[in-house]
Amino acid sequence: MDRSSLSRSRRFAPAVALAAAAALTLAGCSSSSGGKKSEESADGASAGKATTPRMTIALVTHQSPGDTFWDIVRKGAQAAAAKDNVKLVYSADPSAGGQANLVQNAIDQKVDGIAITLAKPDALKDVVAKAKAQNIPVVGLNSGVSEWQKLGLMEFFGQDETVAGEALGKRLNKEGAKSAVCVIQEQGNIGLTQRCDGVKKTFTGKFQTLNVNGADMPSVKSTITAKLSQDKSIDYVVALGAPIALTASQAGSDAGSKAKVATFDLNKDLTTAISKGTIAFAVDQQPYLQGYLAIDSLWLYKNNGNYMGGGEQPVLTGPAFVDKSNVDTVAKFAAKGTR
| 176 and 74 share one domain | no
Q: How confident is the model at residue 302 (pLDDT cuts 50, 70, 90)?
A: very high
Domain match, 299 and 328 both: no
Mark whether 101 and 171 lie in a shared domain. no
What CA–CA distances, in Å, run from 84 to 251, 292, 326, 339?
44, 11, 32, 22
Q: Is pLDDT above 50 for 41?
A: no
Domain co-membership, 130 together with 169: no
Lowest mean pLDDT among 5-19, 132-146, 162-176, 289-303: 5-19
Select, from the ranges 39-48, 160-169, 330-339, the one with the highest average predicted confidence (pLDDT): 160-169
Average pLDDT over residues 110-114: 98
Is residue 152 situated within a structural domain?
Answer: yes
Contacts of 30 (CB under 8 A, 6+ apart): none
pLDDT digits (tens, 9 = 90+) for 192-241: 999 999 999 999 999 999 999 998 999 999 999 999 999 999 999 999 99
Its domain, for residue 109, covers 53-158+285-307
Q: Where would I find the beta strands (DSSP E) of the chain? A: 38-40, 55-61, 86-92, 113-116, 138-142, 156-159, 179-184, 206-211, 236-239, 260-264, 281-284, 315-318, 320-322
Residues 186 and 230 in one domain: yes
Asked if residue 111 has pLDDT above 50, the reply is yes
For residues 103 and 197, membership in a common domain is answered with no
CATH number at residue 229: 3.40.50.2300
- Can you tell me the distance from the alpha carbon of 39 to that of 198, in angstroms, rounded to the nearest whole number? 37
Bridge partners of residue 260, in order along the sequence: 236
Number of domains in the chain: 2
Q: Is residue 329 part of a domain?
A: yes
Q: What is the DSSP letter of 263?
A: E
Contact (CB, 8 A) for 237 and 261: yes
Listed in sequence order, the DSSP H helices in 140-286 are: 161-175, 190-202, 217-230, 242-255, 268-276
d(CA 114, CA 67): 22
Q: d(Cα 308, Cα 302) in Å, to the nearest integer?
A: 13
Residue 17 within any structural domain of the chain: no
